[in-house]
Amino acid sequence: SRRYSVRDGLFGSRRQVVRAVTDVSLAVPQGATLGLVGESGCGKSTLARLAVALERPDEGRALFRGESVWPRLPADFRRQVQMVFQDPYSSLNPRQKIGGIVGEGLVIHGVGDAAFRRERVAELLRMVGLSPAHAARYPHEFSGGQRQRVAIARCLALEPQLVVCDEPVSALDVSVQAQIVNLLRDLQERLGLTYLFVSHDLSVVGSMCDEVAVMYLGRLMERSPREALFAEPLHPYAKALLSAVP
Ligand code: ATP
Ligand code: MG
């Protein structure tokens, strides 16, 4: 569970507590892609942030390979768990060159020398469909789709096991969305990644995920294999979501 306390009114005269996630128990099997869908405000991002230890649960636990991530992160957690955020315009440091952004984790974790890191950054840029020459450029010179490719390259630098994607394509143009979804899927097949894939877009989830979890008002309503969910959703909210898919 995660509660947020929110100030109510201009002068914060009252405090209101929002229970963002309640009683959710959800495991992502290694190598799988688990989709997490639900309407705006239902707690998807909060759950994703709990999984990567950006939020601390008020009750309950977040586990990585059976080890609790609070009060102390399991060894190598920061290398093995990465996140791709929704907005590629705010998730990249505008003052840092692309090479520095992609290679930052390598520097922080002391991986290789400068020459090794340069080569690794070039390899990562190629993996996401960019060119090594892009390393010398700045984020403002890139389109939204290219920025998201940079963010994906950054998250792959340390060879993670689990990648949590929070609406990674919803800020992008529809024509670019498919390219990024295809990239994420190819990378998963090549690298054997495990994904927790948050989206409110069932067509994106349908093309990405083996299994889909449906949240509603902070609770987990249903978890089904993709085919089963699309063929016969159990929860009324999942039915409504599906009926909105063209
Ligand atoms: P969306 O699809 O719009 O991204 P979501 O499913 O990701 O929505 P969350 O961002 O997890 O939803 O938010 C769940 C609830 O918690 C909402 O009611 C939201 O207003 C509230 N909330 C989220 N973050 C905070 C915060 N930092 N402070 C206060 N309330 C918050
Ligand atoms: Mg969200």
**What b/e readout covers 49-69, taking b as 16+ CB neighbours within 10 angstroms?**
bbbbbebebeeeebebeeeeb
Residue to probe by mutation, ligand 1, list 46, 83, 165, 237, most atoms within 8 Å of CB: 46
The answer to whether residue 239 scores a pLDDT higher than 90 is no
Flag whether the ipTM exceeds 0.95: yes
CA atoms in the 13 A half-sphere facing the CB of 1? 10
What confidence tier does 228 reach under pLDDT thresholds 50, 70, 90?
A: very high
φ/ψ of 2, rounded to 5, equals: -140, 125
Q: What is the pTM of this model?
A: 0.94
For the CA of 47, the closest atom of ligand 1 is 11
Summary mean pLDDT of the chain: 93
Residue to probe by mutation, ligand 1, list 18, 52, 166, most atoms within 8 Å of CB: 18
Distance from Cα 208 to the centre of ligand 1, integer Å? 24
Q: Quote the pLDDT of residue 246.
A: 60
For the CA of 45, the closest atom of ligand 1 is 7
Distance from Cα 45 to the centre of ligand 2, integer Å? 4
Q: Which residues line ligand 1 (CB under 6 A)?
A: 4, 6, 18, 20, 38, 40-46, 200
- Each residue of 57-108: pLDDT tens digit? 999 999 999 999 999 999 999 999 999 999 998 999 999 999 999 999 999 9
- Each residue of 108-132: pLDDT tens digit? 999 999 999 999 999 999 999 999 9
Q: Quote the pLDDT of residue 236.
A: 85
**If you take atom 16 of ligand 1, which residue's CA is the nearest one?**
20
**Average pLDDT of the segment spanning 6-21:** 77
Percent of the chain with pLDDT over 70: 96
Q: Are 43 and 20 in contact (CB under 8 A)?
A: yes
Residue among 209, 215, 222, 226 nearest 33 (CA): 209
- Each residue of 159-193: pLDDT tens digit? 999 999 999 999 999 999 999 999 999 999 999 99
- The residue whose two tokens read 């979501």 is 241
Q: Quote the pLDDT of residue 10.
A: 67
Distance from Cα 159 to the centre of ligand 2, integer Å? 25
The answer to whether residue 26 scores a pLDDT higher than 80 is yes
The answer to whether residue 23 scores a pLDDT higher than 90 is yes
**If you take atom 29 of ligand 1, which residue's CA is the nearest one?**
4
φ/ψ of 235, rounded to 5, equals: -90, 140
Q: Quote the pLDDT of residue 244.
A: 74
Q: Quote the pLDDT of residue 157.
A: 98
